[in-house]
Amino acid sequence: MSLSRGQSWGGTGDLPYGSEVAGSDAELRAVVTSARAAGDDPPTVGLTGGDLWRTLGGRSRTRGFSDESTRVVVDIGSVLLDGRIHWFVAHLVARRSWLIGRCWIAANASHLGRWNLAPRAHPGDGLLDLLDSNLPIRQRLQAHRRLRAGNHVPHPGIAYTRQPAQQISFQDPVPIHLDSESVGSYRNISVRLEPAALHLVV
């Protein structure tokens, strides 16, 4: 079941013996992708870094897990890119450049590096935060200066919606980054949230 802000969506507990540990969004995505490719549910994973980790409250690298560690169940994103399925845990970014052209983002985590890119995103609420923009250069630079604090939105030139799924198309193939890793260029993008799909220990 997906949870909204203010509801309990985790607890405490140690990482099960033998569990995998991921230190970044890309490493966590690899675990999810491997499990899905085998037709299995993702295993419980210890998370020690990355944008999803930061969104979940991570502030300093953990030296280990214990009974006091935080256990949560989070959503993951799946995406069909020109008919081929991929998964992501933190965000999908479709853009040629941060400084020119259209930028389309599906976020499960609020953070992207130093930026508070999707300030309303919650990885356990059953929704993706979707941002779509193609700002003039001056407005784009102004928005970039506000990204760290997360006050670049609301903005009349940035469409910000929260939905469990969406389909979009680009006129020409556009580079796609899943959890900050390039996966190629595609025209057709169909994203969907998989609610309560991943157990993490943070």
d(CA 95, CA 76): 21
Residue 199 lies in a domain: no
**pLDDT higher than 70, residue 147:** no
Same domain membership, residue 155 and residue 55? no
Q: What is the pLDDT of residues 11-50, one digit of tens each?
A: 888 898 889 999 999 999 999 999 999 999 999 999 999 9
d(CA 20, CA 34): 12
Same domain membership, residue 173 and residue 98? yes
- 114-144: string of b/e by CB count within 10 Å (b at 16+)? ebbbbbebbbbbbbbbbbbbebeeeebeebe
Residue 201 lies in a domain: no
Same domain membership, residue 180 and residue 86? yes
Same domain membership, residue 108 and residue 17? no
**pLDDT higher than 80, residue 149:** no
Same domain membership, residue 136 and residue 55? no
What pLDDT, on a 0 to 100 scale, did the predictor assign at position 200? Answer: 96
Q: What is the pLDDT of residues 66-115, one digit of tens each?
A: 887 889 999 999 999 988 999 999 999 999 887 778 889 999 998 888 88
What pLDDT, on a 0 to 100 scale, did the predictor assign at position 66? Answer: 81
Residue 105 lies in a domain: yes
The arithmetic mean of pLDDT across residues 145-157, rounded, is 56
Peptide bond just before 164 cis, omega within 30 deg? no
**pLDDT higher than 80, residue 63:** no
Instruction: Please give the share of the chain, as a percent, with pLDDT higher than 70.
Output: 81
d(CA 110, CA 187): 25
Same domain membership, residue 95 and residue 154? yes
SS (H, E, C) 14-46: CCCCCCEEECCHHHHHHHHHHHHHCCCCCCCEE
Q: What is the pLDDT of residues 22-33, one digit of tens each?
A: 999 999 999 999
Residue 129's CATH number: 2.60.200.40
Domain finish residue from 77, 98, 126: 77
Q: How many CB atoms lie within 10 A of CB 34?
A: 14
Burial class (CB in 10 A: 0-12, 13-18, 19+), 33: middle
Same domain membership, residue 100 and residue 58? no
What pLDDT, on a 0 to 100 scale, did the predictor assign at position 69? Answer: 84
d(CA 150, CA 139): 15
Residue 48 lies in a domain: yes
Q: How many CB atoms lie within 10 A of CB 163?
A: 13
Same domain membership, residue 152 and residue 180? yes
d(CA 40, CA 134): 39
Same domain membership, residue 172 and residue 72? no
- Better-predicted residue by pLDDT, 121 or 7: 121
Give how many domains the chain has, as a whole number.
Answer: 2
The arithmetic mean of pLDDT across residues 55-70, rounded, is 76
* Residue 12 near residue 70 (C-beta atoms within 8 A): yes
Backbone φ, ψ for residue 26 (5° rounding): -65, -40
Half-sphere CA count of 177, side-chain side, radius 13 A:
18
Same domain membership, residue 92 and residue 38? no
Give the domain extent around 55: 10-77
Task: Record the tokens describing residue 25, joined without a space.
Answer: 């969004």
Domain finish residue from 77, 109, 124: 77
What pLDDT, on a 0 to 100 scale, did the predictor assign at position 176? Answer: 97
d(CA 55, CA 122): 8
DSSP string, 47-78: E-SSHHHHHTT--S--S---TTSEEEEEEEEE
